[in-house]
Amino acid sequence: MPAAVAAAVLLGAAAVPNAATATTVQTVEISGFAFNPAVLNVTAGDTIRFVNHDQEAHTVVAQSGAFTSSGLDTNDQWTVRITKPGKYPYFCSLHPYMKGTIVVRAARGMH
């Protein structure tokens, strides 16, 4: 078994306020050729972790091109931290019918 992939991408030019506070990590489970939950609500600055539980490899690719994961083998995980509020629809580039969305809300005091 290869070592779990642990790559992180930082998105968005906006600085995260109170960067000293620990960021929240939210997880999207990939299993049965689906992202769970399909729609994930996070706060700007949160880290989103994708974990692949399938025997098949998957990827996480933003439709906008904002992020692209490496190939996630079984039990691999990949994290992305999004600081810019917005809707981020994404799909698996190996099975494009696998789709999900991350909804990023502004952090408190960020307006």
Partner 1 sequence: MQRKDFLGHVAWTGAGIAYAMSAGGLMTGTALARGVTGSIDFVQISNSHIGFHQEANPDVSATLQSAVNAINALPDQPKFVIHTGDVTHLSKPEQFGTAKDILAQLRAPLIVLPGEHDFIGQDYNSFFQAFPTPKGGKQWFSWDQNGTHFVALINVFDFEKMGLLGNDQLTWLKRDLAAQPSSMPIVASRRCVLKRSNPPTNRWRIATASHALWNC
Q: Interface residues with partner 1 (CB under 8 A)?
A: 1, 33, 55-57, 59, 61, 63, 68-71, 73-74, 91, 93-97
For residues 94 and 111, give the distance between their C-alpha atoms in angstroms, rounded to a whole number.
Answer: 37
Give the one entry of partner 1, Cu ion, none that residue 1 binds, where binding means its C-beta sits below a cut-off of 5 to 8 angstroms depending on kind. partner 1
Q: Which residues of 34-64 are buried (b: 16+ CB within 10 A; e: fewer)?
A: bbeeeebebbbbbbbbbbbebeebbbbbbee
Based on the shown chain and the rule CB under 5 A, indicate whether residue 28 belongs to the binding site for Cu ion: no
- Of 24 and 64, nearer to partner 1 (C-beta) is 64
Based on the shown chain and the rule CB under 5 A, indicate whether residue 92 belongs to the binding site for Cu ion: yes
- Of 89 and 105, nearer to partner 1 (C-beta) is 89
Based on the shown chain and the rule CB under 5 A, indicate whether residue 104 belongs to the binding site for Cu ion: no
Residue 67: which of 42, 45, 92 has the closest Cα? 92
Contacting positions for Cu ion (CB under 5 A): 58, 92, 94-95, 98
